Structure 1
């Protein structure tokens, strides 16, 4: 059974449904999404492979997921650092950043320089709502992600990719292929262009909402918040 993908409009509608009839708050959904990402990172990059995790966060919900993931990674024993150049004035994001500051998790200003002491990268810059051109200060980040030999885990979408059409045909981001993709709630159409290890995360969709959106949700095991799937969406 191939997992159904969700385009940008359907994914946004599903989020609204979860926060409407599903009775979730955005805080809850972000916490569960970030927890899923942290578990995927632990699965593909256990602590023995290196503790330094650089998390690149954008100004929106994708960046919030990254901030949550960084907090969990800290408590797993990693040493995360955060690149968060466009901090939101939204109270939720401010609280997430404060939680990391209280743990003495460093916030860095120079992403390419921070890569020199990093073992794994979490790309939480742009999510499923991204479209158009990559604006400052993120072009340098996308170039670094294209060029690095370090493993990269992308949150929901590789940053700079079009949600339906995948990587740009040319120019910035066209050579970006992360090692790991964590699709939140359900894979997006861009997943067909992805070549690495693919996880689905988000163990919070009720059967009722799943039926409403015709989702083929994977079977999560035990306390896992993520499921690894192959390129056809089959559980591994």
Structure 2
């Protein structure tokens, strides 16, 4: 006997929604204004989720070298702050992060996240080694926290353009936070870096539809009303997991 699907069954059958740049910005604005999330709170949630995803993708036991060394490259905008939080939690998880944060923002929140890392004795590089071989020999993994949905790529200047050139040549794995740096939210992404792992935040962005590597989603904190309003059709998270692999 036929029966009409329940609302939950209908949502489960619907395809996962990939966010445009405008939708991603609108959701964040609603979280901050209507739901009274704090900016620092959202960044902390996202950064911790990114660290957990990296641990799942690159567990300590899989690291080829004796020390689980990670180079975290942070941009000047919000994605860079998420990278700082990610580095701090990786340190808590007994990895050995080093941060390259070439243009430190004067914003007090960025400075707070920086001090938190310094107090965890996480070293900061004053420059990115120009020899790709140095990166390959010194680190097991690169975390790309350079450019997120909020970044205007048309205004991305040095040193970030040179950093992207370097990262496109490294042989060790790269994990990108929210979207691979150099990718457009919508359009041609052949000029960006090619990470092995992508951690989408809130909901995947349109560019992630063409991503072929290991893809994690961290969006369980989104209020149900927002999920319904934007028809996100998020997958079910197992148990108490904060992440799901797509």
Q: What is the TM-score when the length of structure 2 is the normalising length? A: 0.87
**Separation of aligned partners in 1, 2:157 and 2:62:** 33
2:209 to 192, 196, 200: 192
1:60 is aligned to 77
2:35 is aligned to 22
**Separation of aligned partners in 1, 2:121 and 2:163:** 23
1:69 is aligned to 86
1:128 to 135, 146, 149: 149
**Separation of aligned partners in 1, 2:226 and 2:239:** 22
Deviation for aligned residue 1:133: 5.2
1:35 is aligned to 48
2:9 is aligned to none
Moved more, 179-188 or 215-224: 215-224
Contact conserved, 1:30 with 1:68, CA < 8 A, in 2?
yes
1:47 to 60, 68, 86: 60
Contact conserved, 2:74 with 2:99, CA < 8 A, in 1?
yes
- With over 3 angstroms needed to count, the CA separation of the structure-2 counterparts of 1:13 and 1:152, relative to structure 1, is same
2:170 to 117, 124, 148: 148
1:5 to 18, 21, 28: 18
Return structure 1 stretches of 4+ with deviation > 6 angstroms: none
1:232 is aligned to none
Deviation for aligned residue 1:110: 2.6
**Separation of aligned partners in 2, 1:56 and 1:35:** 16
**Separation of aligned partners in 2, 1:5 and 1:175:** 19
Moved more, 196-205 or 60-69: 196-205
Please state whether the residue corresponding to 1:132 is helix, strand or coil: helix
Aligned length: 224
Which protein shows a greater Rg? 2
Contact conserved, 2:78 with 2:150, CA < 8 A, in 1?
no
- With over 3 angstroms needed to count, the CA separation of the structure-2 counterparts of 1:177 and 1:211, relative to structure 1, is same
Write the mapping of 1:57-136 to structure 2, written as runs, cut at 5 A: 57-112=74-129, 115=135, 116-130=137-151, 131-132=153-154, 134-136=156-158
Please state whether the residue corresponding to 2:216 is helix, strand or coil: strand
**Separation of aligned partners in 2, 1:191 and 1:132:** 20
Contact conserved, 1:35 with 1:225, CA < 8 A, in 2?
no
CA RMSD of aligned residues (A): 1.4
After superposition, the C-alpha distances for 1:42-76 in whole angstroms (9 at most, x for unaligned) are 01111123310110000111000000000100000
**Unaligned 5+ runs, structure 1:** 169-173, 230-236
2:161 is aligned to 139
**Separation of aligned partners in 1, 2:128 and 2:235:** 35
1:162 is aligned to 184
**Unaligned 5+ runs, structure 2:** 1-13
